Amino acid sequence: MTTEKIKVAIAGGTGYTAGELLRLLINHPQVEICSVMSTTSAGRPITDFHRDLLGETDLKFTDNPGEPDVVFLCLGHGLSREFLTTHTLPAHCKVVDLGQDFRNTPDFEGKHFVYGLTDVFKDEIDGCDYLANPGCFATCIQLGLAPLAAMKMIQDEIHVTAITGATGAGRKLSETSHFPYRNDNISVYKSFSHQHLEEIGNTLKVLSGQPQTVNFVPMRGDFTRGIFASIYTRCTAPAEEVTSIYKEYYKSSPFVFVSDAPISLKEVVNTNKCLLHIESHNGYIHITSIIDNLLKGASGQAVENMNLMFGLERTTALHLKANAF
Amino acid sequence: MTTEKIKVAIAGGTGYTAGELLRLLINHPQVEICSVMSTTSAGRPITDFHRDLLGETDLKFTDNPGEPDVVFLCLGHGLSREFLTTHTLPAHCKVVDLGQDFRNTPDFEGKHFVYGLTDVFKDEIDGCDYLANPGCFATCIQLGLAPLAAMKMIQDEIHVTAITGATGAGRKLSETSHFPYRNDNISVYKSFSHQHLEEIGNTLKVLSGQPQTVNFVPMRGDFTRGIFASIYTRCTAPAEEVTSIYKEYYKSSPFVFVSDAPISLKEVVNTNKCLLHIESHNGYIHITSIIDNLLKGASGQAVENMNLMFGLERTTALHLKANAF
Amino acid sequence: MTTEKIKVAIAGGTGYTAGELLRLLINHPQVEICSVMSTTSAGRPITDFHRDLLGETDLKFTDNPGEPDVVFLCLGHGLSREFLTTHTLPAHCKVVDLGQDFRNTPDFEGKHFVYGLTDVFKDEIDGCDYLANPGCFATCIQLGLAPLAAMKMIQDEIHVTAITGATGAGRKLSETSHFPYRNDNISVYKSFSHQHLEEIGNTLKVLSGQPQTVNFVPMRGDFTRGIFASIYTRCTAPAEEVTSIYKEYYKSSPFVFVSDAPISLKEVVNTNKCLLHIESHNGYIHITSIIDNLLKGASGQAVENMNLMFGLERTTALHLKANAF
Amino acid sequence: MTTEKIKVAIAGGTGYTAGELLRLLINHPQVEICSVMSTTSAGRPITDFHRDLLGETDLKFTDNPGEPDVVFLCLGHGLSREFLTTHTLPAHCKVVDLGQDFRNTPDFEGKHFVYGLTDVFKDEIDGCDYLANPGCFATCIQLGLAPLAAMKMIQDEIHVTAITGATGAGRKLSETSHFPYRNDNISVYKSFSHQHLEEIGNTLKVLSGQPQTVNFVPMRGDFTRGIFASIYTRCTAPAEEVTSIYKEYYKSSPFVFVSDAPISLKEVVNTNKCLLHIESHNGYIHITSIIDNLLKGASGQAVENMNLMFGLERTTALHLKANAF
């Protein structure tokens, strides 16, 4: 553990995942935020965009990273590569990419990005320098399937329906995030073709030793935070056995828990937790998995990974009060 | 068409489906409401319970049906049988049961209850005397599958996830309908075992000529009205072909439409419509189906059936203004 | 009453108030929609924008009004004047402006626009040719104060807080209508300075014979439809007396009702109704007033006014099913 | 500061404010929870009721307090007195009452309960033994008025409209917390007569030296957490001057901040913060004040007070991550 604080830079500072990073990191005892970059808002207080931080920070957006020990990239598709190409970072500077540029193509200009699904790949993440943080749907679904895959218990296609909060679509204004449309509404998008299927497939293949088929229907929910995934696949093992396997698999995970009772989304919202519940019906094992899309599904897991990359206590700054309601 | 108005009685008058019947029938030009029964609130104005009818009616709850031409039963499980046993109705009085007592066991004391899925069984419903109105999930899912079943195109198991509004759980107070729990929350219940599976199975068998397996995960949504069903099954026919089949099948249905563009729940909320949209992916045909659970899924379809039972124009009192937002 | 149908044109056809007009008018037995204008979307089906009308109409947007008997202007501030200047309408064509161009400055190029607060100015509206439809907040607040003003019972300043649904801000995307901001949120805007204060002041002066001071705090609510206004002013008359005065004042109004019990917003949402409730406390009379901002507060009142302008039954096409939930 | 941990007991452990205390205190480094009492659920895991604590605690409900250093009373009206009468606590045990039994009648059996509006009465709270925690509306409104009162700048009646989330009504099922009623709905209750007016009046009298009249209209909002208060009173001082006075008054308050820009409720939800914003219009000073009703308005302020009562750092366990959306 270092005695000096880790200097953190954040690129894409006005977006939602950057905001969540800031909310976490200003309470992190071993971190000092050295720059929050924005190409459009340099010079303005970050509280102009992240209004709820009023009173908690006087930081202003900048247009350059400074001399960070780690940079978090909160940028759009393709822009992480561009950032690394156009910015000069200190040689020792680690990189955590919250975008999807390196999840499926991990090698870039001599850097190898470890896939940051913390509860599955902790050993590779420990002390690594470059990390591709998983997608939000991908995290929720993979945590729901990893133990089954690792035990080679996936025998057939996997059926997934997952519903996400509107923050998943980000700060950018859009028709489907316009309140009169979104409120009290449900819709399906990118059915069977969501871009997170690739990273899910990679992990399932690594764990189970063979390719798996995942049929995935994503839905837009009428709430702001969280992902609820309903997952089932053929499996003759009874729920009790599968539950035991899952509890064993996640026994050292500080934020993943298996619930014996059915779960509801708000049990994890605004925390870094993932809750799982398992039932068996008609020859299927049915797994429900819930996370907060901005925390375990993005910035929370990113901080958890940063902690591991720097040899810190993994849970630092992540014991968040649940909000429950 | 009769020249005198049809005298309507409603049993279970304080509940949500009774309220929707009242909202529809007070604007029905060929109907006269002769009694709204309540065992607990006889003598009180119905606007004490259905507050939004203030200014539209002075009706009071009664404790007996009077001399109706048709009675709508809006009662709990098992109570429809009890009502018919304990009440004497005029010999010519027709019965529309909105409960589930006669959906799967249609014969009772010499009466045969026709299953009231209007858009599929219109011919049997025309002029019938006893009708079992379908369940809300059952309506949404069956309308999504009927053309495929009728064309014998169901070759494998069917996968359904459907999410419902809180009015589906009725007026009775409960933990899972308590606002602090339900708001912004999602949960699964009765997975693979919902009671509507039986009536869905009956219809699919009738239409397709053989038993079908339906895997059904119901979800509680954080909105009040509507059901959104996502349905898929193996089918090699392209989406265009299936869309054509669906349009042909529903061409004479005044409230069921096939949308070429993706659909969202609020396009049907507060109407008697069902919208369907069809895509094909990876060897699956994926159907989304949406209804208002209290209208097409309950009281709207009940009025549509009543119109047919009395030889009236089927759409009478059902050209409802959509609310869109 | 004419035997031929009234030919209606709508300008600004893609917006929310135009959508509500369409939803009402396609069920109006004495109306034929002859054109729905859009400068940006001419040629496209109106269901591309008003998705919930799928199956109910095949109309397409046009770029000219045709030969209407009446045109509804659903345009932004200042654009109604521009429309009338740049378009040639038939000499007999009536005009209903849903914007605010003529509410406070009613004379324009020889035309005099009657202020269309139906329940107060019905006599002036009957048979008139040009009508300025009131604002949504203005309607809700004026209906809450008109009887008191007409009885010269306003003795002091008036205090109003009113909260509106997000459709009040229209279809245009904005930060404050972005779902992650708006959901579960409350905020104040334009306090003491909302533009509807002027038309409210005009009416109060006409009715009470002198200028009145209205302190008005508007709030953005986290729902889509409806306005809830809380209004109080010094008045020593007891609630029972004021209630009687209000019931008398609105006795011939088909959509305005005084409730003896407290009211809640959803009792009027998706209807053309206004509900009022009156209490007295500490020397104040406290009036709550609720409307649907898009119906009684815009398109519903506009149709009610059109009915009067053409000598039709005032309530035609406005007996809407309440949605209650 | 003690070196041993403070042993905390909680009475009324299944309720919402108890749940929030638990969520805060399990992360408090100087606290040990020694008992969570429930008369109805003794022996059951607390996660049966506070489901979001799964994985964070194995505590079970008990039926007696044990040997605490402080007991938090989270009981209904009148039950705090009863608890203290029927339970024997250690002589040194401090008491924090979250109910309203001692807010207006602070002396009970030789104990004097200090009124716990932390940011106003910090000096009295420091080291005290018995504390009456303020009501939620009372906290929000008093923090909005305290500087004005302390500066003797209140010259006339005060007008307040405040809207609260549904958790304010607690865990008990009720018609007005039933989701189909509450969702998208607004209503007024207890206008001009809310029970918190008494404690507000007490504080204003203490600070300003004379009685003040507060006209208060409370509203039920369609969200779960938070209170938004809109407050105005005659005041000729310009907004800038009043803003300066407020900033000075709260300069040592770690959770109360004055915003130069307008505020929206979610900027404080799930934190212990209070945000204030001040404008002047038409001779009125208009103050908006926002808090989380369960934190600054209940359990958060209770922990803040406990910290002061035990000489701990006031902000311990209260640097909560905002959730923003």
**Chain C residues lying within 8 Å of B29, measured CB to CB:** none
User: In this predicted structure, what is the pLDDT of residue C290?
Assistant: 98
- Range 204-223 of C in CB contact (< 8 A) with A: 222-223
Q: What is the mean pLDDT of chain B?
A: 97
Query: CA-nearest residue of chain D to A257?
Result: D55
Q: How close does chain A come to C93, measured CA to CA in Å?
A: 33
For residues A106-131, average pLDDT: 98
Q: Give the pLDDT score at B310.
A: 98
Note the pLDDT of residue B1.
Answer: 47
| Burial (Cβ within 10 Å: 0-12, 13-18, ≥19) of residue C86 | exposed
- Which pair of tokens denotes residue B188? 């699964």
pLDDT digits (tens, 9 = 90+) for B187-233: 999 999 999 999 999 999 999 999 999 999 999 999 999 999 999 99
The answer on pLDDT for A1 being more than 70 is: no
Catalytic residue among B128, B136, B140, B274: B136
Average pLDDT, chain C: 97
To probe the interface with A, which of B186, B188, B290 has the most A CB atoms within 10 Å?
Answer: B186
Catalytic-role residue among D136, D140, D235, D274: D136
By percentage, how much of chain A surpasses pLDDT 70?
99
pLDDT at B133 over 90: yes
pLDDT above 90: residue B267: yes
For the stretch D42-65, pLDDT in tens is: 999 999 999 999 999 999 999 999
pLDDT at D1 over 60: no
Tell me, what's the pLDDT at D324? 87
Does position A2 have pLDDT exceeding 60, yes or no? no
**What DSSP line would sit under B40-52, residue for residue?**
TTTTSBGGGTSGG
| CA distances in angstroms from B111 to B95, B131, B132, D92, listed in the order given | 10, 10, 11, 76
pLDDT tens digits along B134-159: 999 999 999 999 999 999 999 999 99
How many Å separate Cα D73 from the centre of its chain? 13
Q: What is the ipTM of this complex?
A: 0.96
Residue among B53, B184, B319 whose CB faces C27 most closely = B319
Q: Note the pLDDT of residue C108.
A: 97
Partner-chain residue, chosen from D16, D24, D255, that has the shortest CB–CB distance to A321: D24
- Is the pLDDT at C2 greater than 90? The verdict is no
pLDDT bin (cut points 50, 70, 90) of residue B325 is: confident
pLDDT in tens, D163-211: 999 999 999 999 999 999 999 999 999 999 999 999 999 999 999 999 9
D225 in Cβ contact with D270 (< 8 Å): yes
What pLDDT digit, counting tens, does each position of C135-148 carry? 999 999 999 999 99
Q: Report in angstroms the alpha-carbon separations of A136 from A11, A98, A187, B235, D55.
A: 19, 10, 18, 30, 21
Tokens of A233: 């696949």
Across the interface, whether the CB atoms of B178 and D175 are under 8 A apart is answered no
Computed over its alpha carbons, how large is the radius of gyration of chain D?
Answer: 19
Half-sphere exposure of C170 (CA within 13 A, CB side): 15
CA D1 vs. chain centroid, Å, equals: 25
- Is the Cβ of B186 closer than 8 Å to some Cβ of chain A? yes
Strand residue runs (E) in chain C: 6-11, 31-37, 61-62, 70-73, 94-97, 107-108, 111-112, 114-115, 130-132, 158-164, 187-188, 214-220, 227-234, 256-259, 274-281, 284-291
**pLDDT at residue A299 is higher than 80:** yes
What average pLDDT does the segment D111-125 reach?
A: 98
Q: With bands split at pLDDT 50, 70 and 90, how would you rate the model's confidence at C291?
A: very high
- Which tens digits make up the pLDDT trace of C59-73? 999 999 999 999 999
Element holding D281 (H helix, E strand): strand D274-281
Task: Kindly report, residue by residue over A54-95, the tens digit of the pLDDT.
Answer: 999 999 999 999 999 999 999 988 999 999 999 999 999 999
Residue C82: pLDDT band with limits 50, 70, 90: very high
Give the tens place of pLDDT for each residue, A174-233: 999 999 999 999 999 999 999 999 999 999 999 999 999 999 999 999 999 999 999 999
CA distance D187 to chain C (A): 5
Report which of C239, C238, C193 is spatially closest to residue C215, judged by C-alpha positions.
C193
Q: Which domains does chain A carry?
A: 6-134+296-309 (3.40.50.720), 136-293 (3.30.360.10)
Please, which pLDDT band fits residue C1 given cuts at 50, 70 and 90? very low
d(CA A26, CA C323): 46
Which phi and psi angles does D169 have, rounded to 5°?
Answer: -90, 0
Task: Tell me the pLDDT band of B324, cut-offs 50, 70 and 90.
Answer: confident
pLDDT confidence tier of residue C325, bands split at 50, 70 and 90: confident
- pLDDT bin (cut points 50, 70, 90) of residue C188 is very high
